[in-house]
Amino acid sequence: MAKSKAVALRLFEIYKKNGYTLSSELEPGYMKTDSFVFTRLYVGHLNQTYHLGIAMREIAFLESLSSLTDFKNIFIIGNSFGFSTLALALMNPQAKVVAIEIGLEPFTDRWIEATNTIAQTEGLNVKVVKGSSPENNAEIIERELGGAIDFAFVDGLHTNDAVQKDFDSLRPFGHRRTIYGFHDVLAHKMVEGLSAAVSRNPIPAQIFFATPSGIALASEEFPEGFDVFCDVYGSNSLTQAILERGVAAVVPAA
């Protein structure tokens, strides 16, 4: 039986077929800057956007998470050029993936239709809808996902206020095993907002230090195998010890 291609390879292949080149996860130590860790879209060598896609380590993160459970309904806040949207559809072929995008500038507005067209060509169950979060979330979730979410990925406006409003708008459509993902929590200093949100809607949340943006996940009931997932992506007691004590946590005394 033929092996299936890794999601990362399929993603890059899809964009290449449509005339785009991607750069992602270029090592800061070699590039002498950390500004090329996240995914950028190019035509030839011309950068197309300042809205960056998630990093390749975060693709692996989401793929590992998806392997632990069978999401049926996935809702995404923020589509940009479709990178996370298409990635989650490739990882979860059994799911319907719906993304909301406000399209404030011509680039992101154009990619609403472009993402839908690419998804249709690739046979992916994806729909990107123009709208504003949190104002339009309820109507879109009701209409497109039957009022239920198994996984949400919040990657819209990166402020402490916005992350609270986004989460508040999603919570009524979740269940005990719904997982809420938040991109850029550490990179954009949104720990305060996330903490306030999960405190008002009591639910355990964890930040993953092995993701470049500091992704957080929250759920009332994480799936079986989540403890090992936390070990892989840096959300365990060892990571906490390293944060608190540095190298002393992992090097024995002489």
Strand 151-154 relative to strand 216-218, pairing? unpaired
Q: State how far the Cα of 158 lies from the Cα of 182, in Å rounded to an integer.
A: 10
Segment 65-74 shows an average pLDDT of: 98
3-state helix vs strand vs coil in the chain, percent to 5: 40, 15, 40
Radius of gyration of the chain from its Cα atoms, rounded to whole angstroms: 18
- Residue 178, pLDDT > 60, answer yes
The residue among 6, 7, 180, 4 whose CA lies nearest residue 86 is 7
Q: What percent of the chain has pLDDT over 90?
A: 89
Confidence (pLDDT) at 242: 84
Angle between helices 7-17 and 56-67 (to 10 degrees): 120
**How do residues 118-158 score in pLDDT, each as one tens digit?**
999 999 999 999 999 999 999 999 999 999 999 999 999 99
Confidence (pLDDT) at 248: 64
Position 243 confidence tier, pLDDT thresholds 50, 70, 90: confident
Confidence (pLDDT) at 69: 97
Confidence (pLDDT) at 112: 98
CA 106 to chain centre: 23
Q: Token digits for 21?
A: 């080149």
Position 249 confidence tier, pLDDT thresholds 50, 70, 90: low
Whole-prediction pTM: 0.95
Confidence (pLDDT) at 103: 94
